[in-house]
Structure formats: structure tokens, C-alpha cells
Amino acid sequence: MKYFKPGLTIIKATNLFMICMVVAMSFSACKRITVEANTNPQGYADSEVVGNWKITEVLSDRLYDWDGNGTKEKDVYATYDECEKNMLYQFIHDKTGVYQINCNTTKNGTWQILNTLYLVWIPEGSAVNNEKISNMTSNYFYTTRTVHISLGDTYVVTSKWERQ
């Protein structure tokens, strides 16, 4: 044979064998991955909370006299005066914060996202605020917390926070 080169057939066979092995291993390593849709909370990141926020809505799950005027209401926010409606909360990237506690008091503090679902913020010298995040976009988020009133009554209060 005029065109036969010794060893060329062995090299082609080896190359063909290697290509077949790579292809076979590729297909055998494939694993079908399925994603199941669910309504479980997926969690939130610190970066989503960083910024300046104002609470613009506060609702109770049950009627209670939130302002002590003798009338029971669910809309807690409606009982706030104008100053209380303009209080700002600043969550800084280094987990510190500046919180307007009332119309005359602003406090520094700390904050964190706990277990990707809870906003925990602590003004210096004040109680821990632990609120479950229930819905979040880039412009607002909702939190819920349980409020214990005297005589053992508990209420679930939902707040809407809007980015400023």
C-alpha cells in the first residue's frame, strides 16, 4: 500500500477511543436536576436592608385601643401623630444603625438579618426588636412581630417599611 504509514492506524484508533470515552463519560455524568416550585420563604440578604427606611403602615391582627382614647382600632399607624409618621431608620452596611425612637430621640445601634428571615435591630440601651420579614421588594418590605399586652393578650402587628 502506497499511502499506508506505519503507526497511523493505531494513533487514529487511540484518538477515536479517547473521543468515545469522553462522550460516554459526559452522558453518564449527567444528572437531571429538577426545581420544585414552592411557597416556602426563601430568605433575605443584608444588602437588601441596607439604606434609609420609614414605616408607613402599621396594622394589628385584632382590635385594640392602641392610643388609649377608648376606641379600639386595627390601624395602629392612624394613631401616630405627624412626627411619629416621619421617623427614619438607617441600616448601615457594617451592621450599625441610626434609629429615630420617638420625636425627640435618635439612637445608634446594631442590626442583623437572622436566619435569612428576621430583621433584628437594637438601639443602644433599648430593647431588642425582632421582626419577621414577610415580603420584600427594592422599594419596600413588610415585617410582623408579636406584641404582648398586659393580661397576657398577644397581637400580631404588621409594619410596612418604605425606602427613602
Q: Over the stretch 60-114, which tens digit does the pLDDT of each residue have?
A: 999 999 999 999 999 999 999 999 999 999 999 999 999 998 889 999 999 999 9
Whether 132 maps to a domain, the answer reads yes
Return the C-alpha cell found at 126.
433599648
User: Which residue range is the domain that position 53 belongs to?
Assistant: 46-163
Give me the DSSP letters along the chain: --S--TTHHHHHHHHHHHHHHHHHHHHHH----------S-----HHHH-EEEEEEEEEEEEEE-TTSSS--EEESGGGS-HHHHT-EEEE-TTSEEEEEEETTEEEEEEEEEETTTEEEEEETTS--EEEEEEEE-SSEEEEEEEEEPGGG-EEEEEEEEEE-
By C-alpha distance, which of 131, 84, 53, 99 is closest to 76?
84
Whether 106 maps to a domain, the answer reads yes
Whether 130 maps to a domain, the answer reads yes
Whether 68 maps to a domain, the answer reads yes
pTM, entire model? 0.73
Whether 30 maps to a domain, the answer reads no
Tell me the per-residue pLDDT of 15-70, one tens digit each, with 9 for 90 and over. Answer: 666 676 666 665 555 556 666 666 655 789 999 999 999 999 999 999 999 999 99
**pLDDT value, residue 14:** 60
- Separation of alpha carbons 8 and 13, rounded Å: 9
Write the CATH number for 72.
2.40.128.540
19 CA to centre of own chain: 47
Whether 58 maps to a domain, the answer reads yes
Whether 2 maps to a domain, the answer reads no
Q: What total number of domains does the chain contain?
A: 1
Whether 146 maps to a domain, the answer reads yes
Average pLDDT on 137-153 reads 92
Place of cell 439612637: 107
**pLDDT value, residue 162:** 98
Place 121 in a pLDDT band, splitting at 50, 70 and 90: very high
**pLDDT value, residue 101:** 87
Average pLDDT on 136-154 reads 93
